[in-house]
Amino acid sequence: MKKKLLIGLILVIGFVSVSSSYAEDIYVTGITNITMRTGPGVGHKIVAMLKSGTKLEILQYEKDWSQVKTGSGKLGWVLSRFLTQKVPDALLVSKLERQTQNLREKLNRIEENNKNLTIQNAKLVQIEEKYNKLKKESSDFLKLDAKHKEVVKQYQEQKGRIEVLEDESKNEIKYWLLIGPGVFIVGLFLGLSTRKKKTSGLL
């Protein structure tokens, strides 16, 4: 009990030493609403009802009453015992919930980006496969083209040799066609001459 009183006294002294021109964030504590009045005392008019957890800006701290300003800019006095520098658990929970929601949204964006990257990666793999296939087909085509050119070259050479042989055969046929009748005539002439000699010998 003495420790609590000592801590309370230290806090009071600390707040009292704060200059009236110094602004500091402070929160409403307790489980019920509190009144904010136009002056430091219950005889002054109520200007607002503040819920537990409301964030205030402290303008002047006194032992019993403190001057504060709301987030909307309204000025007034509240009982000092309902003020605390500790952020209320409800606000901490709310803050943590917002942070959790932000993290979830970031996680969803990251998962979506990963999904898009996976799709893009799959497309790149397909493109690479098509490229490799075309590259292989091109390589095979070049090999086939080289073989085709070699076959065409061999065909042209063979064709040239055949043409030469055909020319030689034609010339040889012409030669025998030209010589054949002469040989026949010479043979006929020799045959007739031989018959005449034999006929003359018999006479």
Per residue in 10-49, pLDDT (tens digit) is: 444 444 444 344 466 766 665 578 889 999 988 999 999 8
CA distance 29 to 49: 13
**Could you read off the pLDDT of 100-149 as tens digits, one per residue?**
888 888 888 898 888 888 888 888 888 888 888 887 777 777 787 888 88
- Our separate counts of H helices and E strands in the chain read 2, 7
27 belongs to a structural domain: yes
CATH of the domain at 70: 2.30.30.40
| Domain around 49 | 2-87
26 belongs to a structural domain: yes
40 belongs to a structural domain: yes
128 belongs to a structural domain: no
65 with 78: CB under 8 angstroms?
yes
Number of domains in the chain: 1
152 belongs to a structural domain: no
Any bridge partners for residue 60, and if so which? 67
pTM above 0.85, yes or no: no
Cα of 78 vs its chain's centroid, Å: 57
CA distance 103 to 82: 34
Task: For the chain, give the longest Cα–Cα distance.
Answer: 193
55 belongs to a structural domain: yes
CA distance 75 to 44: 13
Locate the DSSP E strands across 40-116: 46-50, 55-61, 65-69, 75-79, 83-84
